[in-house]
Each structure stands twice: as C-alpha cells, then as structure tokens.
Amino acid sequence: MLQDIQRAALDLVEEQGLEATTVGDIAARVGVSERTVFRYYPSKEHALMPGQQGLIDALVSSESAHHTPSGILEDLLAVCRELFSHEVEQRDFRRISRLLVQEPEMLRVVTRQERSLVEALSSALVHRGVLGTLQSLLIAEIVTACWRVAWQSFARYEVDGMDSDPVSLFDQTVRELGQLFPST
C-alpha cells in the first residue's frame, strides 16, 4: 500500500504537475479514501518523497576509525558514496530525480526533509564525543549538501537523457569540494 500510494503520487505529478495534484487525486487513483493516504504518510510531501531514513540510519550508525574532523567527514562521505550508488538502483529513484529538476518545488520538499538528516547526524556526531557542537553541525551540513548536489547533478543528466555514472558523479562532487579549500 505504501508503494501503491507513492507510485500513484508520482504518476499524477508526472501527468499533471505538482501543484495540480491533490491528496484526493492520489487517494482516488489508488482507490482508497483520502484519510487512508494520511494514515500511511504524515503529509503529502512524504507520500511523494520516500524520505532519507536509509541514509540517516547508515550515516548515524557508521563507525569511523578516525578521530579528526576531516577523517570523520571523509568516512561519512564514503558511506554516502556507497549508498548513493545503491539508491540509483531503486525503482523510483530516477523518477524522483527527474521530478527534482522539472518541479522546482520538489527540491524544497527534499531540502525540508533533509533537516531531519542534519539534526540526526549532527547530534549523533556530538554523541560520539570526538567533535564539538559546531564541528558536528558543520560536518552534517556539508555531508547533506554533498548528497544533494550529487543527486541534483545526477538528476540533471537524467533529464537531459545523458547516461551518467552516479558514483563518479559523487566522486566528482567530493573532488570539487576539496578543491574549494586549497592547501596553503
């Protein structure tokens, strides 16, 4: 049912656009009542976007042998890289990616939901006891930003019909990030 609703939601947004798609439409498409949609998803946004719980879990539960901010960041980005390559295989990841570009509002939905990621990750980092609050917050923001930028780049390629290797796209993002801070 969860998937039925999400599929219907994505179908409808592709057909009619985001703004024109109401929860009632989605419910009707699935053949359930509007109320039922809200039983499965806390909001219309969540029905459209599966959320990043997998990413959150992976990052929060990841271990790091390093004890420096830069080492920890590196490990977290490695986790992202790994997960990103798997995500692409998910059935609806590409559809959502295309919507990210075609419906600007979708990116806001994503960004809003990613707050949970930043909050969970930063507090998990603080909890490890190695990093300060500011460092943890900063790292969580950077990791999230990387994920979003890589994803958005991937999405652009998808829409343009170009084939792209998600992993190398992620690597490129991280590489560009590193180049922003030259070794002086």
- How many residues contact a second copy, by CB under 8 A? 37
H helices present in the chain, as ranges: 2-16, 23-30, 34-40, 44-48, 53-61, 69-87, 93-102, 104-128, 133-159, 166-179
DSSP 131: S
42 binds DNA (CB under 7 A): yes
Among 7, 11, 14, 38, binds DNA (CB under 7 A): 38
116 binds DNA (CB under 7 A): no
71-100: contacts with a second copy (CB under 8 A):
73
Among 31, 104, 129, 161, binds DNA (CB under 7 A): 31
CA dihedral for 124, 109, 104, 170, sign (positive or negative):
positive
35 binds DNA (CB under 7 A): yes
Closest CB to a second copy among residues 5, 18:
18
Contacting positions for DNA (CB under 7 A): 1, 21-24, 31-36, 38-40, 42-45
